Amino acid sequence: MTKLTRICVLLAVGVNPANCRGRRSSVDAQALELALRFGEQNDGACVDALHVGSPSDERSLRDYLGMGLGSLSILAPEPGVEPAATAAAHLSEAEYDLVLAGSAARDGGASGVFPYQVAKQMALPVLPDVTHLEESDGVLMAKQARERGVRQKFEVRGRSLMTVSPLAPAARLPSFVLAREGTLRWVNSNDERRIDPSAEVLQSPKMRAALPMRKSLATFDPNASAEDRLKAVTALKGGAGKLHDAMEPELIATEILARLKALGVTPD
């Protein structure tokens, strides 16, 4: 791959869990942080940002500008067309090499699916849960967070879309001056021919006022006994609790080491 030049970060408005007001989404800010760091380390890189949706919450979007982003484009989706299709048309037009997004801007069922819809429209491969991005000898490398602290390394040889993991480096705090001086640009996707007309608006789930969430205290089985229900409640708590008292430290050490080896966490 030639030297990477253009990155676009998809930014959404997050929710403050304490008061339900809008704010920058923490994982989207982490995606922007990765892009900005990449831009600082590589002179040839240019970092753009795109918000898809109605610009209802300008203040939250300005938080992203406060991180050092010069300008942020806002793309209002065409009525009756899937927003992902509009975004895909805009992004293909600008020919970005890499599209970055946070793994899920806010909590809730459907959150985090938008980048995948965009990737499907643009026929890009998706690399999820990225934590590092670097370029060495003109090759773009990405690291993906895996279970148990492992990082999987990937070489990126073409265009792709990556979602950024919450385990990526923390985002810098926004500066008020930069937030005030940055510009929000409203863009229109003029080229309607490039929007796939078959992409209709997805049927969204029915919304209702939140009911209390109940942890499951029952069991699945219709004929479960009281003992089973007790087990179901206490099953996840762990602690079968074998107690060894009056054991020599030497023997304890041997036993613990043997157990660690059996569980496969220590080197042989």
Partner 1 sequence: MSDSVARRRYSLARLVSELQRQVDRKDLRAAIHLAQMPIQSRGFYTSQASRRLRKDPWARRRYTVAASGRPRLDVNAGLSKKVMQAGATSTPKPVHRVVDPERFVIAVLDLEAGRLTAADKTCLAAARQIAGLDPGTAVIALSDSDAVGLPEAGADRYEVIPGLRASDGRFAVEAALCSLSIQMTCRAFVFSDTALGRHTARSLAAELGVTPAIGAHDIGSNYCVTRCQSGESDAVHEGLMVLTAKEGFVPPVLSMSFEAAPFQSGVSLAPAESSLVDLGPEFSPADDVALEEAPFVLCGGGGVRDWQLFNDLAVALNATRAGSRVVCDAGHLPRDRQVGASGRSSSAKVYLALGLSGAVQHLQGIENCEEVLAVNTDAAAPIIKRADTSYIADADEVMSEMLRQLVAPE
Which residues 46-85 are close enough to bind partner 1 by CB under 8 A? none
Q: Which 211-230 positions form the footprint of partner 1 (CB under 8 A)?
A: 211, 213-216, 218-228
Length of the chain: 268
Contact 50, 93 (CB under 8 A): no
DSSP state of 192: G
Pair type for strands 139-145 and 151-156: antiparallel
Q: Which 164-193 positions form the footprint of partner 1 (CB under 8 A)?
A: 165, 167
Give least dist CB 151 to partner 1, A.
Answer: 5
Token pair belonging to 256: 């613990």
How many residues bind partner 1, per CB under 8 A? 99
Q: Given candidates 116, 134, 172, 196, which one binds partner 1 under the rule CB under 8 A?
A: 116
Cα distance between residue 93 and residue 136, in whole Å: 27
- What are residue 249's phi and psi, to 5 degrees? -55, -35
Using rule CB under 8 A, residue 144 touches partner 1: yes
Contact 195, 92 (CB under 8 A): no
Q: Given candidates 113, 169, 181, 183, which one binds partner 1 under the rule CB under 8 A?
A: 113
Q: Given candidates 11, 25, 106, 171, which one binds partner 1 under the rule CB under 8 A?
A: 106
For partner 1, the closer of residues 65 and 171 by Cβ is: 171
* Residue type present at position 256: I
Q: Given candidates 12, 104, 168, 171, which one binds partner 1 under the rule CB under 8 A?
A: 104
Give least dist CB 132 to partner 1, A.
Answer: 10
For partner 1, the closer of residues 94 and 257 by Cβ is: 257
Contact 8, 122 (CB under 8 A): no
Using rule CB under 8 A, residue 245 touches partner 1: yes
- Taking every pair of C-alpha atoms in the chain, what is the biggest distance, in angstroms? 80
Using rule CB under 8 A, residue 158 touches partner 1: yes
